[in-house]
Amino acid sequence: MSGLSRLKRQIALFALAAVTCWLTMNIPAGAGENQGITVMGLGSVEAKPSVVELTGVVIGQGQLAGDAVTKFHGNRRRAETAFKNLKIPGLEVVEEGMSLYSSLNASQMQAMMRGMAVNNTDSQELSVSETLKLRVTGIDKLSSQELLEMIVRIVDSGKDAGVIIGNDTSPSVPGTYNPSKARNTMATFKVTDVEKLKEAAYEQAVKDARTQAEKLAKLTGVKLGKVISIDGVGDSQKNAAAISNQMLAQYLASAGVNQTEEQASTLLKAIPIAVAVRVTYSIE
């Protein structure tokens, strides 16, 4: 046998050994015990929002820090009094935190927009701001018209007291247009009793998984057995491979499954609570 032929034979044997080794390493432990039908089941229930939240910002501005702080405290007191005088049942004002910053004046902003150097020696306006979360509970007992009138009262009262209601629409760079901030969302509607609703959704998801598994068993001519394993949203998956967890997360995201404790929407309508389960059935 020539040297070239021996070399080709050695390369072929090495490649075969490498493939065999790779296959052996990638066969899961206990694969024979876990063979079966694995399906994803989805369940969803809808609930009327019980909470509405609005975001307000109180600002005090001045050339001197002391002036900015003084104006801020005055605006803060007016805002607190205004919301208190509304006497709206379930209205709570939650402090989200304060911030202090300096803003460019008009000439500095114009220079920046023209691509010119900004003169930092010019006076800058100092600002003190606080974000307030205006949260109203029990809105599921109100009609749409009553809820709308209540929100209008809160917004108008806040504006009269100098509170900026809604999300931040100011551009990151002065003079630029940001499409994502073009719409000022005034209110967010939430469902809070998520855990109870999830129980009903899980019942639907398990039934959906069983239905899918029975269809697959019928198509493949096998008999469906008992449940080998089941994983739900948020459950630990210590024995699952990392790639399996990643695939499950991607599947839940594509199915629109939200895993947070509160479900929120910017639309005043019933909010869906969706869950998913991964179930493996044995084959008899």
Check whether residue 120 and residue 217 sit in a common domain.
no
Residue 87 belongs to a domain with what CATH number? 3.30.70.2970
End position of a domain, from candidates 138, 161, 191: 191
Residue 15 lies in a domain: no
Per-residue pLDDT of the chain (284 residues; tens, 9 = 90+): 554 455 445 444 444 344 334 333 443 433 344 478 999 999 999 999 999 999 999 988 887 878 888 898 999 999 999 999 999 999 999 998 888 877 665 666 666 666 666 555 556 678 888 999 999 999 999 999 999 999 999 999 998 888 988 765 444 444 444 454 445 678 999 998 888 898 999 999 999 999 999 999 999 899 999 999 988 754 333 344 444 444 555 555 555 555 557 888 888 899 998 889 999 999 98
**243 neighbors 213 (Cβ within 8 angstroms):** no
Looking at the fold, whether 42 and 58 belong to one and the same domain comes out as no
Q: What is the CATH number of the domain that holds 235?
A: 3.30.110
What is the distance between the alpha carbons of residues 203 and 280, in angstroms, rounded to a whole number? Answer: 16
Please count the structural domains in the chain.
2
The amino acid at 134: L
Rg from Cα positions in the chain: 30
User: Is residue 149 included in any domain, yes or no?
Assistant: yes
97 and 39 belong to one structural domain: no
Same domain as 233, residue 169: no
Nearest to 165 by CA among 141, 140, 132: 132
> Are 199 and 243 within one domain?
yes
pTM score, whole prediction: 0.63
Q: How open is the CA angle 176-179-184, to the nearest 5 degrees?
A: 105
Residues 58 and 78 in one domain: yes
List, in sequence order, the alpha helices (H) in the chain. 3-25, 65-85, 106-113, 144-160, 194-220, 242-254
Q: Which domain holds residue 139?
A: 51-191
Q: Mark which of 191, 221, 255 sits at the end of a domain.
A: 191
Q: How far apart, in whole angstroms, are the C-alpha atoms of residue 275 and residue 259? A: 8
Question: Does 104 lie in the same domain as 58?
Answer: yes
